[in-house]
Amino acid sequence: MGKLQVTIRGSSMSPSLEDGQEIICSEYVGQEIFVGQVVIFMHPFDNNITAAKRISAINGKKLFVVGDNPDPLSSDDSHNFGFIDISSVIAVAD
């Protein structure tokens, strides 16, 4: 399992992760993941966008992911696009 350095862009994960902050993540290779963890994944509607969101719920192989920012307009997350498939996860924040 490799390590990846990810730079947060935007304010959707504020206040826990800020724009420009760098975080270390573990490559996702099928390890167990949990509600509350931050995952890095390919956006379900645009493969050119890599997103960082917190897992809010797990339903089998589907994840409901949300931003931490309390402003509901600040995050493009599962409230907008629904559950994501676990196969779109690239990494899990350490």
High-pLDDT (> 90) share of the chain, %: 85
Nearest to 38 by CA among 51, 20, 19, 21: 51
| 56 in Cβ contact with 2 (< 8 Å) | no
Q: How many domains does the chain have?
A: 1
Asked whether residue 73 carries a pLDDT value surpassing 90, the answer given is no
High-pLDDT (> 70) share of the chain, %: 100
Asked whether residue 88 carries a pLDDT value surpassing 90, the answer given is yes
What domain range includes position 38? 3-93
CATH code, 76: 2.10.109.10
pLDDT of res. 72: 81
Asked whether residue 1 carries a pLDDT value surpassing 80, the answer given is no
Nearest to 53 by CA among 3, 80, 2, 4: 80
pLDDT tens digits, 33-61 = 999 999 999 999 988 889 999 999 999 99
pTM greater than the 0.85 cutoff: yes
